[in-house]
Structures are given as structure tokens and as C-alpha cells.
Structure 1
């Protein structure tokens, strides 16, 4: 059997637990910022798939139960929350939100070039999770196949509940875009703003990538999902 086929067979059967790739500095790390991302992802990928930060089954059940609608029945805002229950679904609807006349745009710097970063190898478990995530989103119409000239690496970070959080290394692409004039406030700014308040609320957008459509014909069109996993 050719070595390439034997390698793929062992990789798919999980006999190969770790892969080390040797590359030149000029080939893989173009600047200090890329080096920092590379080092961070080497740390993530070399860590155990199930480390101490992952909650045990009992703790996960207790955590989900404490966040259920039933647990909020004694909350003074329960009645109002139930009235707008459809606004905060527990699962992502298999359809796009209603068109509201707002489409997201990304303004590129005038002297910027195509942002291309190579995908580093990922553990098989992460590849399967990423592929399933985008297959489900594609079937639901939340994402489309990208024709963008830009690309960014994708990897997974283990959640405390045991699943995978899909992460995209957009540092190089972000450096080529014009910063938003209304940036997201920092945590300390938010805390200072509600210091003297008696009631505060936080809205969590589940998979926020599909809530605001991308403008058609955008140069970085669908940049939220123009990344590539190991399987493409």
C-alpha cells in the first residue's frame, strides 16, 4: 500500500494523534502579529481535546437547567420574557431573518491587498466539528459558498460544556480594513455605565453571523464564512 494511502487510513481511524509540521519562518510567519496567532494556535492545537476546563456531565446538566425557562419563573421579568420568547430562540432557526433594509459592509483600506493566510493542520475531531457546523448552516441558508479572494485559518476551541467554538484568525484581514467608527465598548466601560442601575439586561445573539446579511457584491463577500478548514 502506498505511504500516502496508509497515512490517510491511519489519520481517519484516529491512529495518528498528533502531526508536527516544519515550515520556514518566511513561509508561514510574515510578521509579528501572525507569529502571535501562530503561537497561540499551536498552544490550542497541542492541548488535550478534553482538558480540565471541560465540565463533567452532572455540572453541564445543572448549568443548562439553571438557564431554562422554568428556572426563570420566580424572576420578576419572567412574564415579559415569555411574551417575547420568539425573539430569543434556544436554537438557531433554519432560515434567514426578515429583510430589514440593513446589510453589512466591510470597507477595505485603499492600499490593501488580498488577505490570504494558510490553514494549519487540525485534529480530526476539530475538522469534523467545523465541517458539520458549516454543512448545517449552508443547508439552513445562513451562509453561501464564498468567492472572496481573502481567506483565513479556522480552528476550534473547546467549550466548557464539551462542544467546539469555531474560531477564525481574521487578524490579517482586520488589519486591512477601515476600523468601525462605533466600536464595541469594552467590558469595563459597560460595567461603569450600569454601576448605579437597578436593572440591566444582556442580549446574547446565538450564532450572530446570520443576523445581519452581507451586502451583495461585497469585495470581502461573506467574510464571516470565507475561511477554509482542513477539508476545504
Structure 2
């Protein structure tokens, strides 16, 4: 173990390979580690492929397509009650479950203002309405990496009384294996993914949440914080595209006499058509188009395979020797 750590720190280990029996039915790629200087240009390359940057360059091959589908990929997608797509979030309670009530706790003034503004906006769009049912869950905010606030609800009691869903969650290793080795990559970030799914009508009263201002609201769409919400969202997206929760990935290589770019634009058009038909929206500021490599679930994926994040490897290498 000491020799391994010493070689890892010295940079003498170039690759770590997952060994598996020959009888395994899954052909998984190995994960390699690249030096930070090799990956240094990756963030800059990704930044130039952001949707907002592409719209500044009419000569970009993706520009016409993004402009054509600006109704589904934009900075300001419509805030409205989503259509019924056949997938609704359901809350099945365990036998004997009673009312789920937790009192709202005090919050800083900044969070109170954010919550009131957020609920007011959602009420105008028809996503929430006043509630009179005997359920209540507190509301609070968590800070996003961007510095903005994310509104969530502490559904602890409700989640404890909910029958867990057994819907399979996408496997990270298989997703990375399917994406690696391609030439071009795009990633679409769905806007407010949870709020694009309706609640089952009989379960709407269970979603009742309190706010610091003393109001009680209930959600007509799937709110943040419910235990089975990830499984429900996966059921929705898996029916249309290859995704990992609220991220949709498009990848392509040369095929059928077409260039990788031609194939990629064809795939993007298909995805945009599905999104338009089902009224799904993506935030163009978070979308990446036709990049040669892309960061997926903490790893870098490109034509050379799956690469470990050098920042994470650096933390392992710096671990003190026992």
C-alpha cells in the first residue's frame, strides 16, 4: 500500500484498470488519470461551447439549429403548469400512516424574501395553490454553486411514511461506457426538471408546505425533497431520451459516410423535436454543444475514454501515509 501511494504521488502510475471475469456480460472501459496540465485547456474549451456563447457566433455549425429551437432551448423558458405526459408522481403511504406535520422554523430575512418571491411566482404559474389540509412541511433554502438559492422542503416525516419506489436508477459506469470513444458531445440541462412533472391529484394535499410568512401551500407539480422523486423523473425522461436525471447527453462519431458533426446535428434535432412535442425545456446558459470532451458525473469523457477528474486524484495522492 505504501509503495502504491508513493508511485501515485510521483506520477508513475498512468492508468488504473478495472479487472473483471471473462464471463461478465458488461464490457466496461478502464479509467485513466491525466495530468492537470493536459486537462488545463478542457474548461476553456467547454466554455466556448456553451449555448449562450454559440448564439454569439452565427458562423458556428450549431447556431442555426439552436435558433430554430429557441422555444425549447432558451434563457427564459415558459413558467407554466406542464401537460399530463402519462407520468405523475405518486405518494403511497405505509399502512397506519397519520398526518405528517412539522412546524416551520425561523429563517434569515434573506431566505424569507427568497421563499415568498418564489412561491408568489409559482402561484401565478399555477404550480402551487393555498392549502387547507392537515399536512405541513417546513421550507428552507440551500445555496447553489452559482451563489443563488435553491428552495427545498423538509419532507422527513412524509418520506418516512412513504413506500419506497423500486424503479431502477441509471448506472454511472454503463452510462460512461456508452458515451466514451465518441468524437462530439452535447449536454442539455432541463429547466426545473421536477416542476415539469404533475402530481397525482389524490396526493396533492400531502405536499402541503409552510412558509416563514405563515402561509400553507400545496404543490400541483412534483416538489423538491420527496424521497421517490428521482425515480419518477427517471421514468419520464427514459421514455424519450438517454439521460441521467435532469441532464440529457448526446454523443456521436463518424458513421454512414457522414461526418461526426453531421451525425451530431441530426441527433440534436431529434432530441429537440422530442422536447418540443412534450414541452420540455433546457437552460441554454447551462447547455454544452459539440464539445470534444465533456464532464459527466465527475469524470471527463472523450474519444480517448473515461478520464478521472485530476482534482479528485490529487486529493487521494495527497492523503498522508499511515
Q: Paired residue for 1:156?
A: 141
**What's the offset of the Cα at 1:167?**
1.9
Distance 1:79 1:145, change over 3 A: same
Q: Is the 8 A contact 1:146 1:222 kept in 2?
A: no
Give ranges in structure 2 of 5+ residues lacking alignment.
1-46, 215-322
2:98 & 2:71 partners in 1: Cα distance? Answer: 42
Which residue in the other structure is 2:155 paired with? 170
* Compared CA separation, residues 222 and 114, structure 1 to 2 (3 A): closer
Q: Cα distance, 1:171 vs. partner?
A: 3.1
Once the two structures are superposed, residues 191-229 of structure 1 have per-residue CA deviations (whole angstroms, 9 ceiling, x without a partner) of 3443344455443222234312222222x5362xx2212
Check the 8 A contact 1:144/1:222 in 2, yes or no. Answer: no
Per the normalisation by structure 2, the TM-score is 0.44
Larger strand share, 1 or 2: 2
Secondary structure (helix, strand or coil) at the match of 2:129 reads coil
Q: Deviations over 1:9-55 (max 9, x none)?
A: xxxxxxxxxxxxxxxxxxxxxxxxxxxxxxxxxxxxxxxxxxxxxxx
Instruction: Report SS of the residue matched to 1:172.
Output: helix
In the comparison of the two structures, how many residue pairs are matched?
167
Aligned mates of 2:64, 2:185 — CA distance in 1: 16
Cα 1:74/1:175, change in 2 over 3 Å: farther
Query: Between Structure 1 and Structure 2, whose CA radius of gyration is higher?
Result: 2
In the alignment, which residue of structure 1 is the partner of 2:213? 231
SS for the counterpart of 1:144 is strand
- Report matched runs for 1:7-22 at 5 Å: none
Change beyond 3 A, Cα 1:66–1:194: closer
1:181 alignment counterpart: 166
| Contact 1:158-1:165 within 8 A present in 2 as well | yes
Q: Are 1:130 and 2:112 an aligned pair? A: no
Give, in angstroms, the shift of residue 103 of structure 1.
Answer: 3.0
Give me the TM-score of the superposition, normalised by structure 1.
0.58
Q: State the partner residue of 2:72.
A: 87
Secondary structure at 2:100 match in 1: coil
**Partner of 1:132: helix, strand, or coil?**
helix
Q: CA deviation at 1:179?
A: 1.9
Query: Contact 2:135 / 2:205 at 8 angstroms: preserved in 1?
Result: no
CA distance in 2, matches of 1:172, 1:194: 39
Unaligned stretches of 5+ residues in structure 1? 1-62
